[in-house]
Structure 1
Amino acid sequence: MDTGNIAWVIMATALVLFMTPGVAFFYGGLVKAKSVVSMMMMSFGALGLIAVLWILYGYSMTAVDGVWDFAGNPFSDFGLGSLATGESANTDLLGAAYGSTFAIITVALISGAIADRAKFGAWMIFAGIWATLVYFPVAAWVWGGGWIMNLGETLGLPEVIDYAGGTVVHINAGAAALALALVLGKRVGFQKGFDKPHNVPLTLLGAAILWFGWFGFNAGAEWANDLAGTGLIVINTIGATAAAIIGWLVVEKFKDGKPTSVGAASGAVAGLVAITPSCANLEPGWALLLGIVAGAVCALAVELKFKLGYDDSLDVVGIHLVGGLIGALYLGFFAIDTGLFTGGDLGQLATQAIAAFAVLIYSFVLAFIIGFAIEKTIGFRIKNEDELAGVDTTVHGESGYKLETV
């Protein structure tokens, strides 16, 4: 393989890996000052655990032999020994490394829904089981030769488009986040406006890191295509994200009277989420419209938790689940050549909807079962008094900020 392509996949892998610390910063700034260590540790815990599981058996599970296989055999290349000694070991291992970063960040995203009230050990158990039973199989369904990858051929319709993971990453994580929010229940004193971000600059830094890393997230896979579609992917990643900031801020101004920096950061993430599945399959003008729609709708969707009564601490559902659904379904209308308004018919929308809602339901059900089982056995949620005292000191024995007076 061309050395330029190899260099790019190494860079893309580093960019996407850097996104998980970006999530930690983004989430960390949004929680209480006495929860910031706990919040960031959930991302770093996912980084450590999922990387290990991916190398041991996760990568082996993400490719199937038959269309209707649940997942690949986890023991077919345990520890990647065979992959490391094959004739194409160099590029094969780079592909495995790149894939690991998607698994890591998907798990890390879920943690925002249970901020301020989760035990770290219980979170790690959940992360390992959910990755094994949900993320690895879903990746096989969508990207590894499974039923979603072949859905279009099976039904005689256009193939499902999920270029960089709107279904695999964002709908998957958002549905699991909703399930865990329901299992753990509401924070003490939960109501609209009861808890403000403790460190807005930290959140903005996290959003900036995410946008930076997202170029590896969306365009990284082009290393296998001689970077043929990189230009379209990059301009769409810029355009949709920028437009989503505007969409969010306009809604926020009309809804709350003031556009906020946290709103701008959240809008950027909503735009990034929405463009993820469609970055290689939209003309730039339609990508701008997608950003506007995603930013505006997600700005409204984050209010659903107060109307419906679930405590999604950091709006994982409103941004990642809703944004992921918008991005996946939008392709049914505007995908190049196959969208309803761009030369196609309703076939693209049908396959997008089947894939998106199948993953949503599967992830939600499994996450709820896993979380409920953990809560009823070892306990998932910390005690109310520990929550009030601060999860950082009660769970980790640390504090994010130590101010000393002389």
Structure 2
Amino acid sequence: MKGLENYSFTCLERFLRYVRIHTQSDPHSLSNPSTARQKDLGKVLVEELQQMGIDDAGLDEFGYVYATVPATTVKEVPVICFCSHMDTSPDCSGADVKPIVHTNYQGQDLVLPDDPAEVIRKSEHPDLAAQIGNDIITASGTTLLGADNKAGIAEIMDAANFLMSHPEIKHGKIRILFTPDEEIGRGVEKVDLVKLGAQYAYTVDGETAGSIENETFSADSAILKIQGVSAHPGFAKGKMQSAIKIASEIVANLPKDRMSPESTTAKEGFIHPVGITGSVEEATIEFILRDFDEEELINQKRLLLAIADEVLEGYPNSQYRLEIKEQYRNMKSVLDKHPNIIRVAQLAIERAGLAPKLQSIRGGTDGSRLSFMGLPCPNIFAGEHAFHGKQEWVSVQDMQKAVQTIVNLAIIWEEQS
């Protein structure tokens, strides 16, 4: 598009800065944000936004960054928000990230130098086949990279920089939102939608270049608390009923060839134990329940209850309690009522020279919650791959395509108003 052909993209430099800032969230923290370090990145982003001339950029007490790219048109255009999250996953260390840029990738396996046992193999990462000649960014082998979702942040920041430096390009009011704690399911708990003032939004947190995601899992958390019977182990015969052993039996009785993350794909849901803690007297199993069909979550709960009941039959003096908490729901039911949001995204991706691909997420985004809070919000690609692990990677060229797509979205909404 006009202006971008000679534009010096800044997303790479921004991304390399952002991933060095430790922003890992903590699911066990009760504070907002869950870790104060997420605000370290927030402060950097606010300063950079203000340097662009975005005077209202600010960081609130809960760790949210809000900012506005002012409209450059007299038309009445819907206010569009672009959103990404600042935290990285608790699943893998996000401290002391050392990003490496592998220029002019030619299909070779990428050995990560700080742990040569970590090898990003083309045979295991099929999306690398489309990256020949591109520049691949990885971590060094001991941490995740943080492309999920600092790639999205860098892309939104670069698009904002472009629009602020090209006021001749017509677009409506653009709102920017950077959230904490998305990785622990609390990314929009404290968001102020009145303050945000957007009609539609796009999270920039997807994988393959060209992808649009309009469907997510529906998700619940489940906590199963077991009360056993403790006794001195030297005199425990006929008395002790170990809560640890009960918990172990329940987990062992979960389906192995279905309804587990390691045995499902596409639209198949799962029950996933994510933690066990306890003692002989008390034990707790934490689960996440996932399915695209909300009714199947009810069936998963029934299965958990049936397994627990069967196991507890062998421990008549013990008992359990199952607590279910809703996390997020499949956003497709909301987005189907606003089809133009997807149509505009498809056109924006086409204008960036890519083939749009509509697909589902085997997970969730801030957009899941935002959609049900009254802000319809699909997810578009950021280019991140193999997230939540040491083999995470992203290509510079895919990031630049995401910047183009964001700019195109701003332009097309104005054109169609």
Q: TM-score, normalised by structure 2?
A: 0.28
Whichever of the two has the greater Rg, that structure is 2
Larger % of strand: which? 2
Q: TM-score, normalised by structure 1?
A: 0.29
